[in-house]
Amino acid sequence: MNRADALSRLHEFDRAHRLIAHASSVLQWDQETGMPPRAVVERSEQLAALEAVAHERATDPRIGELLERLGSTSSDPRGDDSLPGLERDFLRVLRREYDKDVLLPVEFVASCARDEGLSQAAWIEARKRNDFASFAPHLSLMLDHAKEKSRLWGFGSSPYNGQLDLHEPGMDERAIATCFDALRPRLSSLVARISARPAPDTSFLDQEYPVEAQDAFGRELRTDLGFQSDRGRLDLSAHPFTTTLGADDVRITTRYEPRNLLSGLFSTVHETGHALYELGYGDDLRGSCLADGASMGIHESQSRLWENVMARSLPFWRGRYATLQARFPKQLNGVDLEAFYKAVNVVRPSLIRVDADEVTYSLHVILRFDLERRLFAGTLEVADLPHAWREGMKKYLGVEPARDSDGVLQDIHWSMGAFGYFPSYALGNIYGLQFWRALRRDLPRIDESIEAGRFTDLLAWFREKVHSKGRRSDPAELLEATTGETLSADAFIEYLERKYADAYSL
């Protein structure tokens, strides 16, 4: 078999695996958006069966043989240096996935998928009833599965690193802790300075905003930002998310609250940011393992930047506020642009991460990172999480949830076994502002475009610099190629200090 044939066969194996994974995503999306509650047991069995098939395909010994034939090894994953660059990047990612997959027994993979489906359903009910005790056994099982995966992958002495490596290649617990240890005091200092100033009036937000009008505004905005309705859709779920069911089928969800206009609005923009990334992979990556985000931190840089840096900016609301007022003439009557802009950017320590302002948000993430580290180190038991959560919220944010639904039960991630994911949100803030600084150098008149409602320049820059690259580079390589910088929180902090110095007259 020559090299061209070997590459062709590898692409066939990879394509088959992607198709099965996307089919599984259809079932998971349906479970979150429309499945009747009593269907959860069989749905979990369906997901387990599909996961087993996908795993068997992904670990076919012929994949390993073809990788070897092309010179791709664990120590030199990109293979023969005479191969085209795109194919070498494909080999690197496929080798990484294969090396991880072959270490997991198929029965274990199926069991994890089955238990994950039941866990998510249990979380939804526990959150509704404020009943952590009913969810705790599922969470314990998810934690056990995660630790076992880490052990099988060779992270027995540092199991949390095994989970972090899934979401942020090249980053480990020590590197993230170092980054967060530097970020936390600077954020806390800024929060303290802002808290000493008079808070803007937000009373006009504390009234009924009809959900139908919220949805109409969100759908219009989503389209204007560049989301293609013939390649995706928007639905409702308990926790907003984005999932890819195919190269031309990206689903986003949001949730609306009648007395919380900003929650649904910014959740929709956040998930649209994710979707724009998913829809922007280059045609040369289509259908392969390269058609994915460079890391979850890079993915979150897109959602966090579109949500906060763009959609909470003064240029954005100069161009969009009249449209919002037209949707809610009674509620926003007499509220001028400056008052609305300040209310949108109010800094106030709060209980719910997804509704947090951009100054306090990363403190929510750092709390979750600390709790996960302790869970994996064995110094914190699942049963003690509610208390540890309340103590952490009081320490980092000065607020304490009265209900677990507003505390330890608020996020879906742990019910899915997605440990090590949370740090990506704060890393996304950091990556995002480094990208934004580079973008403003290239597009010095970007504020004018945003004010005019022209988002094509913004999207085109990210399409070229980030989206089209997919997984061809690790996050550190992509960041340096795009910005000329290594990871640093300086751009993020400088952006916050500049913006809120103006908003709060610091």
In a domain, 165, yes or no: no
- Write down the pLDDT at residue 506: 82
In a domain, 11, yes or no: yes
- In tens, the pLDDT along 410-428 reads 999 999 999 999 999 999 9
> Quick check: is 271 catalytic?
yes
- Write down the pLDDT at residue 200: 93
| 114 and 255 part of one domain | no
- Domain holding 90, by residue range, is 3-156
| 125 and 199 part of one domain | no
In a domain, 135, yes or no: yes
- Write down the pLDDT at residue 446: 98
- Write down the pLDDT at residue 355: 86
| 102 and 224 part of one domain | no
In angstroms, the CA 401 to CA 77 distance is 47
DSSP state letters, 208-261: ---HHHHHHHHHHHHHHHT--GGGEEEEE-SS--EEEEETTEEEEEE--BTTBH
Report the side by side order of strands in the sheet with 232-236.
232-236, 249-254, 242-246
| 359 and 403 part of one domain | yes
Residue numbers of the chain with a pLDDT score lower than 70:
none
Q: List the CATH number of the domain containing 471.
A: 1.10.1370.30
- Write down the pLDDT at residue 164: 97
Active-site position among 51, 87, 116, 271 = 271
Residues in the chain: 506
| 145 and 195 part of one domain | no
- Write down the pLDDT at residue 354: 87
What number of H helices and E strands is found in the chain?
Answer: 20, 3
In a domain, 213, yes or no: yes
- CB burial of residue 2 (10 Å; 0-12, 13-18, 19+): exposed
